[in-house]
């Protein structure tokens, strides 16, 4: 079904009953979705029989319907670095990428370490209206790694914070990490850890340690700096009976630790980024700072281990680690440039290309790893419920055969540090819907005031 035969997107924003017909329902086969008052009223082959007279129809043959994507790891930069990104522009990028909820990391300026700062992030996200923006609270005050932040107050605030992270920095003091895990257990929170032992990989470490880092003259970032923290934290999680989440897993060794921990019944979850599933450390031979990321890109053998771990469930979810930077922060010598790359608008296409098109995952797996499980880990009650009757109509329609050539200039983000520029990917987001309201279609976005 071509775009020309589908109704005008703006007409779908009126709140009228809507019947989406013929989509592959998250890999379970073709069916229809009936949306009434922002919720899924019927789903399946016979959903059309329940559509009221006059319901709008959106022909979705050839598309895959997924529950709206949820990103557990996003940097929106506001407050403090609105030249790189704002909550509004980051939300637009998220909606264009098929997301209906994102979790905004705490390493802003000032840091999100109080109830008031968390509520401000929440309110700005609600005002923009493209996606639900849930603040991640800092684990320690000012990310200093010493004194716990207002964990309980943030949890009890209007933002209902349940995920806490000092991302960008590791909670490296075992005593502080233990205290944080004990504290958040009372309200079912989770600590998302940036696993980087600073004594093994300091602040200048920027290239996978090995022959290549030596040849390029770049400070090495050994895998054991990640793996040792992962091993410590899963033991602390077992000791405290609390939940720990491993952010941006990048090595085969970390995968081994996670497999062992899960076999022991320890309450640990983990994420992998799209860039760690496809890009490898050999790209650093160009010294192009768009490929500078933390943790660094790893060799092919680590990439293969990460793909296998995502496919078999050892790694639970995909998270973007969307990290926008203005040009002047990237246009430096490699060792001096900022860490990070964009990811929200391309994540689904990368996973489609690397995992689905290669037969490693089904679209049902994509729904699990990019929607239902991220929402479960973050304890989001209105996201990730699947394509089930009564669930909020948070939906993403994907064209699985569409070839996408990434153009950094067209990004909704304020920044352009896009590692996928010029690369052809397979599978593109066609439409995103938040509680029955279209927020994006083929690159065009609509916010709360649309």
| Bridge partners, residue 445, by sequence | 440
| Bridge partners, residue 40, by sequence | 35
Round to the nearest angstrom and report the end-to-end CA distance of the chain: 26
Whole-angstrom Cα distance, residue 227 to residue 35?
A: 45
CA distances from 149 to 131, 162, 365 (A): 26, 13, 36
- Of 32, 321, 329, 373, which residue is the catalytic one? 321
Residues 6+ apart with CB under 8 A from 60: 1, 20, 21, 22, 23, 397
Is-contact 275 347, C-beta < 8 A? no
CA 446 to chain centre: 21
Give the helix ranges, DSSP H, for 358-417: 363-367, 373-378
In this structure, the strands spanning 437-441 and 190-193 are: unpaired
Is-contact 378 162, C-beta < 8 A? yes
Cis peptide before 4 (omega within 30 of 0): no
CA torsion through residues 360, 364, 395, 47, sign: positive
Whole-angstrom Cα distance, residue 437 to residue 9?
A: 10
Whole-angstrom Cα distance, residue 325 to residue 430?
A: 27
Whole-angstrom Cα distance, residue 389 to residue 400?
A: 25
| Bridge partners, residue 432, by sequence | 396, 440
CA 263 to chain centre: 25
Is-contact 78 117, C-beta < 8 A? no
Q: Is 401 a catalytic residue?
A: no
Tokens of 232: 């410590």
For residue 103, the number of C-alpha atoms closer than 13 Å in the C-beta half-sphere is: 32
Q: Which H helix or E strand runs over 216?
A: helix 211-216
Catalytically active residues are 321
């Amino acid at each position: 079904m071509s775009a020309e035969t589908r109704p005008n997107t703006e007409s779908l924003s009126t709140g009228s009953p809507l019947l989406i017909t013929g989509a592959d329902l998250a890999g379970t086969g073709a069916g229809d979705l009936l949306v009434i008052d922002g919720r899924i009223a019927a789903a399946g082959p016979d959903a059309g029989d329940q559509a009221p007279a006059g319901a709008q129809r959106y022909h979705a043959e050839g598309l895959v319907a997924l529950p709206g994507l949820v990103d557990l790891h996003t940097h929106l930069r506001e407050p403090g670095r609105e030249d790189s990104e704002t909550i509004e522009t980051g939300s637009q990028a998220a909606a264009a990428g098929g997301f209906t909820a994102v979790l905004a990391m705490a390493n802003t300026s000032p840091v999100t370490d109080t109830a008031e700062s968390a509520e401000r992030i929440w309110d700005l996200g609600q005002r923009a209206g493209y996606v639900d923006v849930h603040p991640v609270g800092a684990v320690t005050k000012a990310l200093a790694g010493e004194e716990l932040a207002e964990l309980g107050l943030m949890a009890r605030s209007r933002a209902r914070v349940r995920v806490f992270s000092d991302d960008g920095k590791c909670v490296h003091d075992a005593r502080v990490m233990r205290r944080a895990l004990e504290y958040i257990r009372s309200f079912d929170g989770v600590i998302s850890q940036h696993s980087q032992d600073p004594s093994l990989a300091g602040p200048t470490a920027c290239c996978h340690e090995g022959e290549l880092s030596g040849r390029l003259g770049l400070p090495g970032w050994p895998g054991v700096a990640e793996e040792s923290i992962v091993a410590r934290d899963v033991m602390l999680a077992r000791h405290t009976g609390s939940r720990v989440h491993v952010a941006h897993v990048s090595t085969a060794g970390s995968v081994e630790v996670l497999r062992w921990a899960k076999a022991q019944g320890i309450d640990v979850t983990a994420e992998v980024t799209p860039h760690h599933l496809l890009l490898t450390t050999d790209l650093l031979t160009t010294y192009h700072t768009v490929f500078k990321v933390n943790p660094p890109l790893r060799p092919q053998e680590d990439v293969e281990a990460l793909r296998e771990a995502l496919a078999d469930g050892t790694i639970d979810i995909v998270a973007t680690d969307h990290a926008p930077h203005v040009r002047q922060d990237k246009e430096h010598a490699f060792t001096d440039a900022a860490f990070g790359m964009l990811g929200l608008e391309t994540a689904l296409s990368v996973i489609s290309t690397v995992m689905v098109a290669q037969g490693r995952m089904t679209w049902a797996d994509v729904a699990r790893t990019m929607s239902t499980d991220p929402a479960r880990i973050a304890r989001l009650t209105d996201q990730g419920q699947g394509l089930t009757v009564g669930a909020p109509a948070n939906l993403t329609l994907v064209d699985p055969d569409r070839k996408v050539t990434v153009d950094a200039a067209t990004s909704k983000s304020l920044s352009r540090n896009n590692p996928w520029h010029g690369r052809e990917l397979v599978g593109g987001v066609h439409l995103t819907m938040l509680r029955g309201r279209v927020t994006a279609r083929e690159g065009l976005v609509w916010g709360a005031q649309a």
